[in-house]
C-alpha cells in the first residue's frame, strides 16, 4: 500500500512504533494547509514558520494522547490555532488576527488595480468579522477543512460552526457587493 493512500490513523500508528518515515508523510500531507492557515492568521512569514514547527513538535509530544479516530488533521489545526491565540495573548494583540490574501496577479494596470482594491475590501470585511466567524471562514475556505473538523478544532457543536459560517457570510454579503466577494471566496 502506498504511503499516500494510507490514512492518517495508520500513519500515526506507524509513527508510534518508531517508523520515522510515517511522520514525514504526515508532515508532507498537511504542511501546506497548516502553513497557509498560520500565515493568514499571523501575517508574518518567520512567525508562521516558527508556529508551524512548534505545531508539529507539539503533535509529536502529544502522540500518546491521540486516539486513532481518524481526526489527526483536526488535532493538528487545533494545536496551530491555540498557538496563534497564545502568541496574540502574549503580545496583547489578539484583536489583530487578520486574513492576508495574496496580491492580484500582474497584468493590465487598470484591472490589477480594481482586483487589488476588491481584495483589499474583502480582506477588510473578513478582518472585521468576529474572531470565531473569521476563523471558520479561514479554516473552511482557505484551509479546506470540513465544518465537522472546524467544530472539533473550536470545541463546539457542528451546528454552532455552521451558524458562525452563516452569520459570517451574511455580514460579508452586507459589507460587499455580490460580484466582489463571490469570486474571492
Q: What mean pLDDT is predicted for residues 81-100?
A: 62
pLDDT exceeds 60 at position 169: yes
> So what's the pLDDT on residue 99?
43
The span from the CA of 27 to the CA of 73, in Å, is 11
Q: What mean pLDDT is predicted for residues 20-40?
A: 90
- Cα–Cα separations (whole angstroms), residue 61 to 84, 85, 154, 159: 18, 19, 21, 31
pLDDT exceeds 70 at position 172: yes
Q: What H or E segment, with its residue span, contains residue 171?
A: helix 158-175
Q: Average pLDDT of the chain?
A: 78
> So what's the pLDDT on residue 183?
47
In this prediction the pTM is 0.59
CATH for 8-94 is: 1.10.1740.10
> So what's the pLDDT on residue 160?
93
The most distant pair of C-alpha atoms in the chain lies apart, rounded to whole Å, by: 58
Give 149-164 pLDDT, tens digit per residue.
899 888 999 999 999 9
Contact 54, 156 (CB under 8 A): no
Domain residue ranges of the chain, discontinuous segments joined by +: 8-94, 104-184
Give 118-142 pLDDT, tens digit per residue.
777 888 888 889 989 998 988 888 7
67 against 13, higher pLDDT: 13
Q: What mean pLDDT is predicted for residues 102-111?
A: 47
The topology under which CATH files domain 104-184 is Arc Repressor Mutant, subunit A (1.10.10)
Amino acid at each position: 500500500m502506498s504511503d499516500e493512500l494510507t490514512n492518517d490513523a495508520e500513519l500515526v500508528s506507524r509513527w508510534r512504533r518508531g517508523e520515522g518515515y510515517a511522520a514525514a508523510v504526515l508532515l508532507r500531507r498537511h504542511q501546506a494547509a497548516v502553513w497557509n492557515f498560520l500565515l493568514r492568521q499571523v501575517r508574518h512569514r518567520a512567525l508562521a514558520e516558527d508556529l508551524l514547527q512548534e505545531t508539529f513538535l507539539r503533535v509529536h509530544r502529544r502522540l500518546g494522547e491521540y486516539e486513532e479516530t481518524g481526526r489527526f488533521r483536526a488535532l493538528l489545526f487545533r494545536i496551530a490555532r491555540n498557538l496563534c491565540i497564545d502568541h496574540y495573548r502574549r503580545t496583547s494583540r489578539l484583536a489583530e488576527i487578520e486574513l492576508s490574501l495574496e496580491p492580484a496577479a500582474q497584468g493590465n494596470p487598470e484591472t490589477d488595480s480594481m482586483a487589488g482594491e476588491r481584495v483589499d475590501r474583502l480582506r477588510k470585511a473578513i478582518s472585521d468579522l468576529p474572531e470565531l466567524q473569521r476563523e471558520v471562514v479561514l479554516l473552511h475556505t482557505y484551509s479546506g477543512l470540513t465544518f465537522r473538523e472546524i467544530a472539533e478544532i473550536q470545541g463546539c457543536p457542528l451546528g454552532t460552526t455552521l451558524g458562525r459560517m452563516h452569520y459570517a457570510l451574511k455580514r460579508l454579503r452586507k459589507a460587499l457587493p455580490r460580484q466582489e466577494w463571490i469570486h474571492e471566496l
